[in-house]
Amino acid sequence: MREIKTNWTNEELKIYILIYCANANFSESKFEIDFIKSKIETSNFEKIHQEFKEDNDYQSIQKIQLSIKNQGYTNGDLGILFKEIKELFLSDKKYDVLEKNLNRGLSRILNN
């Protein structure tokens, strides 16, 4: 297995996490993609989206955890991030059980 490394900016981390969350129910809706693009300032969406597609779930979680740690996220930063994640989940007017479970799981993983 290859070593997990990231060299993302804060913006790229946010894009990756939101893409990861958009795939909670194994499909990205147009509403979710439009939401993500409305929340970013750079043109890195396609690059980060391609990287996400090449990663498995384990790699995604490892990259997210490592990057959150490296970026020095505070509890306040995580609170803002989880607010945006919840907005993403609601962007298609559905908040299904898979999205709820992912939100709980990420909260446990990232708040430790």
Does residue 2 have a pLDDT over 90?
Answer: no
pTM score? 0.91
Q: Of 6, 111, 25, give the one whose Cα is nearest residue 64.
A: 6
| CA contacts within 13 A on the Cβ side of 81 | 25
pLDDT at residue 1, as a whole number: 55
pLDDT at residue 43, as a whole number: 84
- Give yes or no for a contact between 91 and 35, defined as CB atoms under 8 angstroms apart: yes
Between 70-74, 79-83, 108-112, the lowest mean confidence (pLDDT) is in 108-112
Q: How many percent of the chain have pLDDT more than 70?
A: 97
The CA distances from residue 100 to 2, 22, 37, 82, 108, in Å, are 30, 12, 22, 12, 13
Identify the three-state secondary structure at position 29: coil
What distance in Å separates the CA atoms of residue 96 and residue 77, rounded to the nearest whole number? 25
Identify the three-state secondary structure at position 8: coil
Q: How many percent of the chain have pLDDT more than 90?
A: 74
Q: Tens digit of pLDDT for each residue in 28-69?
A: 989 999 999 999 987 889 999 999 999 999 999 999 999 999
Q: Which two tokens stand for residue 106?
A: 């990420």
